[in-house]
Amino acid sequence: MSRADEVRAAVAEHLQVERELLADDTSLGEDLGLDSLAGIELATALEDRFALRITDDELAAVRTYGDLERVMRRRPGRRPRPGPCGARDGRSPRATGRPRPRRSGERP
């Protein structure tokens, strides 16, 4: 499975939508109903699943699924962890109020 396919699968799973709905021009806000909090939760879930960091500036620039996929392609990371975006209980750590553990070398 390619990185693009892995990202599409992870986003579809997290948002509970069909993969076919995730076209490059699909608006995350208008077409999929993501608000800013849901966008942060999605970014956190992807960070956890792919062991990478999405900056606030990158996240602010994401409007469509294609934008998100391009951000994910530019970020090196390891192979995805199994499970719903890496969370054992199906929720991202930020959504549960627990702080995300810092990775080595990450600034506070």
* pTM listed for this prediction: 0.68
The C-alpha atoms of residue 37 and residue 22 are separated, in whole angstroms, by: 19
Listing DSSP states for 71-99 in one string gives HHHHS---PPPSSGGG-TTSS-TTTTTPP
The pLDDT value given to residue 25: 97
Greater pLDDT, 1 or 8: 8
Percent of the chain topping pLDDT 70: 69
Do residues 48 and 92 make contact, with C-beta atoms less than 8 angstroms apart? yes
Work out the pLDDT band at 84, boundaries 50, 70, 90.
Answer: low
Q: What is the CATH number of the domain that holds 72?
A: 1.10.1200.10
Mean pLDDT, residues 45-71 taken together = 94
The pLDDT value given to residue 40: 94
Task: State the CB neighbour count (10 A cutoff) for residue 85.
Answer: 23
The one-letter code for the residue type at 107 is: R
Average predicted confidence (pLDDT) for the chain: 81
Beta-strand (E) ranges in the chain? none
- Residue 107 maps to a domain: no
- Residue 7 maps to a domain: yes
- Residue 54 maps to a domain: yes
Radius of gyration of the chain (CA): 13
- Residue 65 maps to a domain: yes
Write out the residue range of the structural domain in which residue 34 sits: 3-86
Q: Quick: pLDDT tens for 9-53.
A: 999 999 999 999 999 999 999 999 999 999 999 999 999 999 999
